[in-house]
C-alpha cells in the first residue's frame, strides 16, 4: 500500500510542487545574500552579540559565513530546482530546515533581534513570520526527503557534477564581486535615486515611532549615557552613539538619519538635506576598521570639493579619540559628523564609502576602490555626468545576472542533449542490425546451497548444456561466495554468470556490502537488481536502485532489473501504474545506449514462491504494456530489442505456454533453478 502511494501520480505532483517551493525559496535567499554579503555579515554579528559570542569570534568569520551561506543556499536551491543529486540534496535541505525552524522559534519567543535576516533587506519579515515560513519549508523538505526519486530530473546524471560545480562557483563569484564593490541591487532605503528627505516623511495621521539618540561619553574614567537634550560640555570625551526606539509607531523607511557635528554637537541634518548644492558624504561607520588604501584619493576629492565650493562631511560612529587617530594617520582635514552605526552601515556597504547627494537626493555611491579620481573630475560636477543621478534599473541588472547564469547553463544543457542524441542515434543504428531480441532463461539461486553444493550444481549444468546446446541464453545468478569459484567451472559461452545483488556505493567503509566492481572481478557478466525481496526486506528504494544500476553498468555488467506488483495492487488493477513507476524511478533516466544493457524481469510478487502463476494471457498483457512503456521512452526499435522475462513460479510445465507469447522473452527462475533437471526442463521449452 505504501509503495503504491509513494509511486502514485498525485504524490509525484505533491513532491515536485514542494520541491519547487523549497528550491525557489533557497535560490532567492541565497541570491539576496550573495548580492549583499556585508549586510548578511552584519546580521550574523547581531546574532553573535545577542548570544554573547561577539568577543570570541574573529571579525572575518561573519563575512566568511555570509559568503558560505549564500553559496550553500543558492546551490541547494539550484540542485532542488533541476533535480541534481536528489538524495544528497534533499537530505541537506531537510537538515538545514531542522536546524533553522527551532532556531527561528526561539527568536520569535525571545526576540533578541527584530529580523532574522533570512532574505536580507529584499524582504523583511518579523520573527513570527519567519518561523511560519520555516514551518512550511520544513514540511516541503520532509515531503521531498521521503521520495526524492519522484523529483523530475532535467539533466542526465553525468552532467550533474558539472552543473553542481557551476552553481556553486557562480554564487561564490557573485558574492565576492559584491563584497569587493557594492551590491549590484540595492534593497535599502538609501539606494541611488531615492530622496532622503522624502524617505523620512510620515503619512498624515500616522503615529510616528519615537527615536532617541544616545551618546556614550567618558570623563575622568567614568562612562555615562546622554541624550541630545542633556548633551554634556566639551570636557567629556565621546565614545559611541546609537539610536534606540523609545515608543513604537509608524516607521518611515528612513528614520535615523541624523548628522551631529562632532566638535559642537549641532544637528546639521536639515542644512545638508536642504542644500541646493552638491554634498559629498564620506561614510566610515568605524574609522578604526576603515580601509586606508585610498586615503590620498579621498584627500584629493576633499580638495576638489573645496575648490568648487561643495560640502564635504565624514560620517562616523567612532569615538572622538578614534577619529583624531584617523586624522593623524591620514592627514584628513574634512569635518566629521556623528551618526548611528547601523545607519551608516545601511547607507553604503563599504568602509569607507562615498555618497553624493543634492537637496537630499542620492545621486551616486562608490565603494572605497571606485572613488572618482582626477581623470573623472575634470570639471565642476554640474558639467559632468558624474553630477547627474546615476541610472539604476534593477530589472535590467537582474536580467544581466540571469544571462550570466542561464546562458552558460543553457549551453551545458544543449551540449548534453546533443551528445546524448548522437549516442542514441548510434545506439539505434546498432540495434537495427540485430535480427531479434535475445531469449534468456536466468536462474536465481537466492540464499540456497553451500559452496560445495553450488559448485556441484554448476558443474552438472555445464555438462548438461554442453551435451545438449540450448536455444537461448542461459544465466545462473549465485550468492556472492559462489561467484569466483563457480566461474572457474562454467563455459561462459554457454552459461553466463551473475550476482544476485550489488552495493549502491563504489567502495569504502560499508561492512558486508559487495560492490559492482567486485562482482565484475569474479568473472560475472550479470547482476539482478530490484528483486521484490530486496525491495521489501531491505527497503531498497528506487533511488538506491538507480545508483546500483548506474554502478553496475559503469563496471560492464548487464542488469536484470526486476519489477512487479503486489496482490493488493493487482486486485486494485494498478499493476500498470506500479511497473511504470518502478521503471521511471530507476532505469528510465538512462540513455538508449545504457538501456541496451538492461534486461527487464516482470515478477508478480503474488506469484513468487507461492505456486501461483499468472496466466499466459495475464503475463503477455503486462509484458506488452512494459514494452510499450519502453517504446514511449526510447522508441520502437529499442523496445523491440529489449528482453523482458517472466519471473513468477515458472516451471517446465508452464514454460512452453508462457514462452510462446510474443512479448515474453524467457524467465527469471527461482526454486526451479536449484535442480539441474528442473532448470533444464524450462530451458528446453525454447525447443518446443
Q: Is 187 helix (H, G, I), strand (E, B) or coil?
A: coil
The mean pLDDT of the chain is 88
Lowest mean pLDDT among 188-202, 475-489, 559-573, 607-621: 607-621
Lowest mean pLDDT among 97-101, 179-183, 262-266, 461-465: 262-266
637 pLDDT more than 80: yes
Q: Is the pLDDT of residue 423 over 70?
A: no
Give me the domains of the chain, ranges plus CATH numbers.
2-180 (no CATH), 206-391 (3.40.30.10), 434-687 (3.20.20.70)
Task: With a cut of 50, say whether residue 67 has pLDDT above it.
Answer: yes
The pLDDT of residue 1: 42
Name the band, by pLDDT with cuts 50, 70 and 90, for residue 300.
very high
**Average pLDDT rounded to a whole number, residues 164-177:** 90
Task: Give the least confident one: 307-316, 496-505, 644-653.
Answer: 644-653
- Residue 153: CB partners within 8 Å, gap ≥ 6? 82, 83, 84, 86, 589
pLDDT, residue 5, reads 53
Higher-confidence residue: 49 or 399? 399
pLDDT, average across residues 46-68: 85
pLDDT for position 127: 87
Q: At what angle do helices 60-82 and 9-35 cross, to 10 degrees?
A: 150
- The string of pLDDT tens digits covering residues 429-443 is 433 333 368 999 999
Please name the residues in contact with 659: beta carbons below 8 A apart, sequence gap of 6 or more: 439, 666, 667, 685, 686
Q: Mean pLDDT highest for which of 28-37, 54-63, 104-113?
A: 28-37
- Give helix then strand counts, H and E, for the chain: 25, 17
Q: What pLDDT, on a 0 to 100 scale, did the predictor assign at position 119?
A: 86
Residue 285 known to be catalytic: no
Judging by beta carbons within 10 Å of its beta carbon (0-12, 13-18, 19+), is residue 142 exposed, middle or buried?
A: middle
In this prediction, residue 638 carries a pLDDT of 92
Nearest Cα to Cα of residue 477 among 460, 502, 505: 502
365-412 confidence digits (pLDDT tens)? 999 989 998 889 999 999 999 999 999 888 899 888 888 888 877 777
Handedness of CA 360, 366, 371, 377 (dihedral sign): negative
Given the residues 79, 255, 482, 531, select the one marked as catalytic: 531
Task: Give the number of residues written for the chain.
Answer: 688
Q: Is 645 within 8 Å of 651 (Cβ atoms)? A: no
Which pLDDT score, from 0 to 100, does residue 434 have? 36
Calculate the alpha carbon distances from 564 to 253, 582, 599, 603, 620 in Å.
62, 8, 14, 5, 14
Please state which of the ranges 121-130, 306-315, 331-340, 624-633 shows the lowest mean pLDDT.
121-130
Cell for 645?
522475462
Q: Contact, 609 vs 595, CB < 8 A?
A: no
Identify the pLDDT of residue 256. 85
Q: Which of 37-41, 154-158, 613-617 has the highest mean pLDDT?
A: 37-41
In the set 500, 584, 603, 620, the catalytic residue is 603
Alpha-carbon gap, residue 486 to 489, rounded angstroms? 5
Cα separations in angstroms, 116 against 23, 112, 128: 20, 10, 10
Q: Which residues contact 418 (CB under 8 A, 6 or more apart)?
A: none
What strand order describes the sheet that includes 237-247? 222-226, 210-219, 237-247
**CA 108 – CA 114 distance, rounded (Å):** 9
531 catalytic per annotation: yes
pLDDT of residue 50: 78
**pLDDT tens across 567-590, in order?**
888 888 889 999 999 999 999 999
Contact 363, 384 (CB under 8 A): no
Give pLDDT tens digits for 519-531: 999 999 999 999 9
User: Which residues have a Cβ under 8 Å from the Cβ of 273 and sit 6 or more positions away?
Assistant: 196, 197, 357, 359, 360
Query: How far apart (Å, rounded) are the C-alpha atoms in residues 530 and 543?
Result: 11
pLDDT class for 210, splitting at 50, 70, 90? confident
Q: What is the dihedral of CA 257, 263, 265, 266, to 10 degrees?
A: -80
Q: Which pLDDT score, from 0 to 100, does residue 2 have?
A: 45
> What pLDDT sits at residue 233?
81
Mean pLDDT, rounded, for 489-518: 94
Return the HEC string of 539-593: CCCHHHHHHHHHHHHHCCCEEEEEECCCHHHHHCCCHHHHHHHHHHHHCCCCCHH
- State residue 436's pLDDT score: 65
pTM of the model: 0.59
Q: Which range has the worst mean pLDDT, 35-39, 226-230, 559-563?
A: 226-230
pLDDT single digits (tens) 113-143: 777 778 888 888 888 999 999 999 999 999 9
Helical packing angle, 160-180 and 9-35, nearest 10°: 30
Residue 145 has pLDDT above 70, yes or no: yes
Amino acid at each position: 500500500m505504501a509503495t503504491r502511494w509513494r509511486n502514485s501520480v498525485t504524490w509525484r505532483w505533491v513532491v515536485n510542487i514542494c520541491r519547487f517551493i523549497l528550491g525557489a525559496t533557497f535560490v532567492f535567499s541565497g541570491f539576496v545574500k550573495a548580492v549583499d554579503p556585508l549586510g548578511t555579515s552584519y546580521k550574523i554579528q547581531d546574532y553573535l552579540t545577542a548570544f554573547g559570542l561577539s568577543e570570541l569570534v574573529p571579525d572575518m568569520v561573519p563575512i566568511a559565513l555570509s559568503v558560505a551561506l549564500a553559496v550553500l543556499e543558492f546551490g541547494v536551491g539550484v540542485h532542488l530546482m533541476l533535480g541534481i543529486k536528489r538524495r544528497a540534496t534533499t537530505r541537506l535541505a531537510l537538515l538545514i530546515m531542522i536546524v533553522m525552524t527551532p532556531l527561528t522559534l526561539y527568536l520569535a519567543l525571545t526576540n533578541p533581534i527584530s529580523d532574522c535576516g533570512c532574505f536580507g533587506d529584499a524582504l523583511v519579515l518579523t520573527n513570527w513570520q519567519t518561523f511560519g515560513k520555516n514551518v512550511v519549508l520544513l514540511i516541503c523538505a520532509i515531503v521531498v526527503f521521503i521520495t526524492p526519486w519522484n523529483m523530475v530530473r532535467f539533466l542526465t546524471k553525468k552532467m550533474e557534477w558539472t552543473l553542481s560545480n557551476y552553481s556553486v562557483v557562480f554564487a561564490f563569484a557573485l558574492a565576492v564581486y559584491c563584497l569587493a564593490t557594492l551590491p549590484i541591487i540595492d534593497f535599502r532605503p538609501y539606494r541611488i535615486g531615492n530622496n532622503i528627505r522624502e524617505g523620512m516623511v510620515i503619512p498624515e495621521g500616522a503615529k510616528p515611532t519615537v527615536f532617541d539618540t544616545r551618546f556614550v561619553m567618558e570623563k575622568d574614567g567614568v562612562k555615562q549615557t546622554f541624550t541630545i537634550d542633556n548633551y554634556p560640555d566639551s570636557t567629556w570625551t565621546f565614545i559611541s552613539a546609537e539610536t534606540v526606539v523609545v515608543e513604537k509607531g509608524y516607521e518611515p523607511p528612513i528614520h535615523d538619519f541624523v548628522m551631529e557635528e562632532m566638535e559642537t554637537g549641532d544637528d546639521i541634518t536639515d542644512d545638508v538635506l536642504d542644500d541646493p548644492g552638491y554634498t559629498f558624504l564620506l561614510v566610515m561607520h568605524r574609522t578604526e576598521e576603515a580601509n586606508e588604501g585610498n586615503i590620498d584619493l579621498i584627500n584629493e576629492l576633499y580638495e576638489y570639493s573645496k575648490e568648487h565650493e561643495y560640502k564635504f562631511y565624514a560620517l562616523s560612529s567612532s569615538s572622538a579619540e578614534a577619529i583624531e587617530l584617523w586624522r593623524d594617520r591620514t592627514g584628513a582635514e574634512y569635518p566629521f559628523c556623528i551618526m548611528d552605526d547601523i545607519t551608516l552601515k545601511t547607507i553604503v556597504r563599504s568602509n569607507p564609502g562615498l555618497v553624493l547627494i543634492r537637496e537630499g537626493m542620492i545621486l551616486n555611491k562608490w565603494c572605497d576602490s571606485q572613488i572618482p579620481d582626477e581623470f573623472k573630475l575634470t570639471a565642476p560636477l554640474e558639467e559632468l555626468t558624474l553630477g547627474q543621478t546615476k541610472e539604476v534599473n534593477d530589472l535590467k541588472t537582474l536580467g544581466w545576472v540571469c544571462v550570466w547564469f542561464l546562458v552558460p547553463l543553457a549551453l551545458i544543457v544543449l551540449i548534453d542533449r546533443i551528445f546524448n542524441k548522437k549516442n542514441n542515434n548510434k545506439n539505434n543504428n546498432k540495434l537495427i542490425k540485430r535480427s531479434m531480441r535475445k531469449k534468456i532463461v536466468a536462474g536465481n539461486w537466492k540464499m540456497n546451497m553451500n559452496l560445495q553444493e553450488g559448485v556441484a550444481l554448476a558443474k552438472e549444468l555445464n555438462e548438461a548444456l554442453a551435451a545438449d546446446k540450448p536455444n537461448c541464453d542461459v544465466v545462473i545468478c549465485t550468492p556472492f561466495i559462489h561467484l569466483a569459484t563457480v566461474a572457474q567451472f562454467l563455459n561462459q559461452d554457454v552459461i553466463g554468470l551473475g550476482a544476485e545483488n550489488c552495493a549502491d556505493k563504489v567502495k569504502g567503509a560499508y561492512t558486508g556490502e559487495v560492490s559492482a566492481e567486485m562482482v565484475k572481478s569474479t568473472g560475472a557478466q550479470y547482476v539482478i537488481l530490484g528483486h521484490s525481496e530486496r525491495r521489501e526486506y531491505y527497503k531498497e528504494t528506487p533511488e538506491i536502485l538507480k545508483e546500483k544500476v548506474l554502478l553496475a553498468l559503469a563496471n560492464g555488467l548487464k542488469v536484470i532489473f526486476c519489477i512487479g506488483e503486489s496482490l493488493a495492487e493487482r486486485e486494485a488493477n494498478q499493476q500498470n501504474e506500479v511497473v511504470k513507476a518502478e521503471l521511471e524511478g530507476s532505469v528510465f533516466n538512462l540513455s538508449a545506449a545504457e538501456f541496451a544493457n538492461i534486461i527487464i524481469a516482470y515478477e508478480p510478487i503474488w506469484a513468487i514462491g507461492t505456486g501461483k502463476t499468472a496466466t499466459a494471457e495475464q503475463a503477455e498483457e503486462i509484458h506488452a504494456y512494459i514494452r510499450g512503456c519502453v517504446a514511449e521512452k526510447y522508441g520502437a526499435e529499442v523496445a523491440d530489442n529489449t528482453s523482458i522475462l517472466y519471473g513468477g513460479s515458472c516451471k517446465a510445465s508452464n514454460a512452453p505456454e508462457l514462452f510462446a507469447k510474443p512479448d515474453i522473452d524467457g524467465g527469471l527462475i527461482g526454486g526451479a533453478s536449484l535442480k539441474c533437471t528442473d532448470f533444464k526442463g524450462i530451458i528446453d521449452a525454447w525447443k518446443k
